């Protein structure tokens, strides 16, 4: 990670994180890496809720939250970082207050803004890793392209009514076989036309589904920071809630993809300049 990973843990932190400290895959060094890490979460909604809460509980030192939306009553069926009293308040403020109650050792950076072409690269470059909890194609492609240009790993999540998807994209790095890891555009080269993909407000979503996927995203972020286990780069995890089944598919690098292929046509974020980016919130 970008900051000094040798930050010492206070006695209170040692007590708080002792279940991590006894894990050989994390231990003291891994916990110090978590404390030194800076993570940006895009969206303080359904996916962002468990993401933010578990990252804070895990001791991630600095957590940025970017979202321009406000809490509404129909969010509360799935957006558990907020409560009834927070209805009408900015999501970043509500989420920051919850994280402060969970863990005072964590610094929270609320960013009440819409992620756009003119600010995405600057915001993302301030952090070590990005977790995308947005619910619309425009934001997903913007975040993916900006992460590639900024050379930042991206932990992606998305949900349907009873299903969800998780992967890690770091196409600026190479796989063990020497080929680049795939990008989001290797999976979906171009965004669908606006209005062709319904969001959760139109088709509905089971609240606990976003909890499953957001928690999996938090796990993958922690693994990327600490180096524990095998990450999801080059793989897509699919969860079918109705069938109670997980499946993992391999994603290959597409040498013809427009972002990270051999002859890229996307070299900056100008293609997003006129996009009608949806709110940086989650399902």
Collect the ranges in the chain with pLDDT lower than 50.
1-6, 277-282
Distances (CA, A) of 181 to 26, 104, 141: 25, 36, 17
Tokens, residue 59: 């001791």
Q: What is the pTM of this model?
A: 0.94
- Residue 151 pLDDT: 98
- Residue 259 pLDDT: 96
- Residue 281 pLDDT: 38
- Residue 198 pLDDT: 67
pLDDT in tens, 184-207: 999 998 887 776 666 666 789 999
> Is residue 202 a contact partner of residue 125, using CB atoms and an 8 Å limit?
no
Architecture of domain 19-272: 3-Layer(aba) Sandwich (3.40)
Q: What is the DSSP string of 47-115?
A: THHHHHHHHHHHT-SEEEEE---B--GGGTTT-TTS-GGGTTSBHHHHHHHHHHHH-TTSEEEEE-S--
Q: Where are the domains of the chain?
A: 19-272
Give me the chain's average pLDDT, please: 93
- Residue 203 pLDDT: 82
Q: CB within 8 A of 50, min separation 6: which ones?
A: 80, 81, 210, 211, 214, 215, 217, 218
- The torsion angles phi and psi of 12, rounded to 5 degrees, stand at -65, -40
- Residue 232 pLDDT: 98
- Residue 5 pLDDT: 43
């Amino acid at each position: 990670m970008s900051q000094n990973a040798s930050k010492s843990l206070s006695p209170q932190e040692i007590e708080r994180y002792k279940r991590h400290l006894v894990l050989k895959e994390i231990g003291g060094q891994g916990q110090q890496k978590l404390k030194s890490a800076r993570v940006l979460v895009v969206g303080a909604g359904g996916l962002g809720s468990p993401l933010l809460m578990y990252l804070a509980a895990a001791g991630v030192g600095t957590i940025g939250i970017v979202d321009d939306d406000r809490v509404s009553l129909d969010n509360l069926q799935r957006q558990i970082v907020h409560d009834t009293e927070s209805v009408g308040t900015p999501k970043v403020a509500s989420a920051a207050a919850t994280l402060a109650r969970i863990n005072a050792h964590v610094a929270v950076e609320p960013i009440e803004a819409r992620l756009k072409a003119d600010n995405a690269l600057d915001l993302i470059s301030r952090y070590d890793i990005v977790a995308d909890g947005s619910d619309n194609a425009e934001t997903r492609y913007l975040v993916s392209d900006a992460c590639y240009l900024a050379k930042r790993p991206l932990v992606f999540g998305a949900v349907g009514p009873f299903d969800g998807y998780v992967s890690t994209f770091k196409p600026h790095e190479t796989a063990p076989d020497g080929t680049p890891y795939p990008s989001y555009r290797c999976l979906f080269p171009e965004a669908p036309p606006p209005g062709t993909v319904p969001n959760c407000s139109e088709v509905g979503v089971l609240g606990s589904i976003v909890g499953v996927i957001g928690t999996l995203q938090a796990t993958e972020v922690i693994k990327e920071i600490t180096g524990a286990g095998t990450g999801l780069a080059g793989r897509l995890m699919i969860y079918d809630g109705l069938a109670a089944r997980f499946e993992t598919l391999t994603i290959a690098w597409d040498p013809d993809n427009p972002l990270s292929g051999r002859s890229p046509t996307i070299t900056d974020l100008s293609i997003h300049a006129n996009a009608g980016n949806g709110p940086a919130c989650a399902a």
